[in-house]
Structure 1
Amino acid sequence: MSVDTGLDVRLSGALGGFGLNVAFTAPASGVTALYGPSGSGKTTVLRAVAGLSRLSGRVAVGDEIWQDDATGRFLKPHRRAVGYVFQEASLFPHLSVRGNLGYGRRRAGERPSGADFDEVVDLLGIAPLVERATARLSGGERQRVAVGRALLTKPKILLMDEPLAALDRASKAEILPYLERLNRERNIPIVYVSHDVAEVARLADRVIAISAGRIGLQGGVEVFESFDVDLTGGRAEAGTVVTARVAGEDAAYQITRLDLAGQTVVIPFAGLAEGREVRLRIRARDVAIALKRPVGISIRNMLDATIVGLEADPDSAFADLHLDVGGVGLRAQLTREAVAELGLRDGMSVVALVKSVSFEPETFT
């Protein structure tokens, strides 16, 4: 279900000694990620939007005002058309999967439109699970059922609070494609809380970085180009998010070849259809620089690039390079010693080297 003007949040105040002051809007569809370190206030914002915690200010979804201190309006949580997915699935243990999903439908009451049972089951691939007891579900399966239950409440907005944080890597890999499909196929705004850069870079259409209860950077996934320690978790996490297209796959070697601005990038086998767009996060620390294409080397990804910016802090061992690869931006983090020995400078043509193994499953779609 869509709303015309999305989410409007303006909140301030203190809870348990923690001060928060945020103001942002989220579009009427797509994923808006609240990103930041643990304890930065992300979950507090989400709970306030849902009405589970109260701060001063205003919360509106489309033409519905859920909180407005200027008029004294504050809707209780059960009166807000919110689908909330917690870090733990929190399914009812005495009910089957079907029973848990049915609870979502009953909570929707007479609320118009929204997804129906069969649509949700198909969307999340849980048809084989509907008669199963919740105790027999894997972590990824439990979260898919929790998402389904939230969708069946027919929400105007879906709030997801670190839904993958409690899962192991295999379970994350299992559920991520379903979350991407949810974003593509359901025209509903999603506010997604996470402190995981790769996860947000893969899923988000818009990023709002929060630190110590305040909003810093916000925008598209390009905010992860920043080396800001407070907002992106340290210099080692800086990088770029680029879009490439599947050019083909080699099952024998379990690799997928992508086209990035006319050049080839090799990643681990992804099982994706030829021609499909893929979003890649390339960390600055995973990019090395050569003056010419090396031979006799195991690195598969060698991209012709031009240096379009070089920042070297004399009080640091590192230098930050901005690279242009056929119109696509990359970042590289090198030692200042390496920059000096190679004679790197703005406008210089170089080769950017990226190991295929640096693309972990959670870093690409």
Structure 2
Amino acid sequence: MLELALRHRFPGPGGFLLDADFASPTPGVTAVFGPSGCGKSTLLQAVAGLLRPDAGRVALDGEVLLDTAAGIAVPAEKRRCGVVFQDARLFPHLSVRTNLLYGLRRSPRGLPGPGLEEVVDLLGIAPLLPRRPAALSGGERQRVALGRALLSRPRLLLLDEPLAALDAPRRAEVLPYLARVRDRFRLPMLLVTHALDEVDRLADHLVLMEAGRVLAAGTVEALSARTDLPLLAGRRDAGVVLACAVLDHDAARGLTRLGFPGGELRVPLRDEPVGTALRVRVRARDVSVATEEPRGLSVQNALPAELEAIEPAAPHEAMLRLRVGGAVLLARVTGDAVARLGLRPGVKVWALVKSVAFAGTPNPPAAG
């Protein structure tokens, strides 16, 4: 368990108060999500020991790293936190190999962990070893920075918006490697981000922050289904995250059938074997409703549901909370549709799911 309770005030006319308290399970990935300036990076720096807060406590799996009341403050170099920053922070005068070996030299003597060859293979950076950072793309630099952090053999990996400075193609390049690290090493990871696709792809646990405070914390699936959190539900790409499993493939029709706690979804044909666990985001804008069982539609997924709640959304829009078996879907509809269909909590409807967004792509191949 990672336990944090931090309070810190930055003085001055633009002073900022961080007052955050949460606990998240380990191992696994906890994403700290929120708008720029909400205190996410400050929180991570306090965990790493790079910032001494006014008051607080940090503990990892029962070991106290910081307790200001008890006078405990483990130095940053002894906390065994591997940190990957937004700007990589590689040594410009060293080759990629030497940058990686620097991380290995920082690892405690005799401690088991990944070696240089394993990390290089995992991150696909063998061709980069003789180069210097200036000759790398942004995505390559971040992969090297991740490798250096891993070679320090951390007990906690801290990722401070590692993809924020990258363009879309480079983000798509690096994201699967972060997933590979998560799956291979099962390290506790604290990811600071303001990108929902990173949350969907990587996170097990989600912490929502705004103006220095924690608004909510819980599983990604649970928080994505809440309509009382404007930080998520107010976005145009708002929607629920569903944990699914591949049930079967119908190559002749070009479809894959996914099972989830509320039933089944049919999606365009996938490559994953039967039984593979997948996570999908069903965006509220991609769900519509019908008051009668629909017929003659191109939409593949029509699911019986109960309307649990109607919440106001953007002007002239409403967010519907739909109970589908053991799961919840959200649907963004117009206010006119609510009135015209006579929608109210408790009525039976059909949820029409037009498309789903898969949380990432299969992991990239290892370098050969």
TM-score w.r.t. the length of structure 1 is 0.86
Whole-Å Cα distance in 1 between the matches of residues 209 and 265 of structure 2? 36
- Unmatched segments (≥5 aa) in structure 1: 1-5
Whole-Å Cα distance in 2 between the matches of residues 69 and 242 of structure 1? 40
1:181-215 CA deviation, whole Å, 9 max, x = no partner?
Answer: 22222131101111112221221111111111111
Aligned pair in 2 of structure 1 residues 129, 270: CA closer, same or farther (>3 Å)?
farther
Question: Which residue of structure 2 lines up, in the alignment, with residue 292 of structure 1?
Answer: 293
Whole-Å Cα distance in 1 between the matches of residues 143 and 282 of structure 2? 28
What SS is found at the alignment partner of 1:108?
A: coil
The answer to whether residue 3 in structure 2 is matched with residue 8 in structure 1 is yes
1:89-131 CA deviation, whole Å, 9 max, x = no partner?
Answer: 2222222221111010011142622222222223323233333
Alignment of 1:281-320 (within 5 A): 281-290=281-290, 291-295=292-296, 297=298, 299=299, 301-313=300-312, 317-320=316-319
Whole-Å Cα distance in 2 between the matches of residues 69 and 171 of structure 1? 40
Alignment of 1:79-98 (within 5 A): 79-98=78-97
Whole-Å Cα distance in 1 between the matches of residues 197 and 237 of structure 2? 9
What SS is found at the alignment partner of 2:236?
A: helix
Equivalent residues, number: 355
Whole-Å Cα distance in 2 between the matches of residues 8 and 310 of structure 1? 34
1:224-249 CA deviation, whole Å, 9 max, x = no partner?
Answer: 22334653272534321102223567
Alignment of 1:241-256 (within 5 A): 241-247=241-247
Alignment of 1:109-148 (within 5 A): 109-110=108-109, 112-148=111-147
Identify the match of residue 18 of structure 1 among 2, 7, 16: 16
Aligned pair in 2 of structure 1 residues 251, 120: CA closer, same or farther (>3 Å)?
farther
Structure 1, 40-49 or 237-246: larger mean CA deviation: 237-246
Whole-Å Cα distance in 1 between the matches of residues 354 and 131 of structure 2? 42
TM-score w.r.t. the length of structure 2 is 0.86
What SS is found at the alignment partner of 1:236?
A: coil
Question: Which residue of structure 2 lines up, in the alignment, with residue 3 of structure 1?
Answer: none
What SS is found at the alignment partner of 2:207?
A: strand
Question: Which residue of structure 2 lines up, in the alignment, with residue 72 of structure 1?
Answer: 71
Alignment of 1:253-268 (within 5 A): 257-261=256-260, 262-267=263-268
Residues 308, 323 of structure 2: 8 Å contact kept: no
Aligned CA RMSD, in angstroms, stands at 2.9
Whole-Å Cα distance in 1 between the matches of residues 145 and 213 of structure 2? 30
User: Which AA in structure 2 matches 1:234?
Assistant: G
Residues 104, 153 of structure 1: 8 Å contact kept: yes
What SS is found at the alignment partner of 1:341?
A: helix
Identify the match of residue 35 of structure 1 among 18, 33, 36: 33
Aligned pair in 2 of structure 1 residues 344, 266: CA closer, same or farther (>3 Å)?
same
Aligned pair in 2 of structure 1 residues 352, 315: CA closer, same or farther (>3 Å)?
closer
Deviation at 1:318, TM superposition (A): 2.8
- Unmatched segments (≥5 aa) in structure 2: 364-368
Identical-residue share of aligned pairs (%)? 45
Question: Which residue of structure 2 lines up, in the alignment, with residue 332 of structure 1?
Answer: 331
Aligned pair in 2 of structure 1 residues 67, 119: CA closer, same or farther (>3 Å)?
same
What SS is found at the alignment partner of 2:106?
A: helix
User: Which AA in structure 1 matches 2:246?
Assistant: V
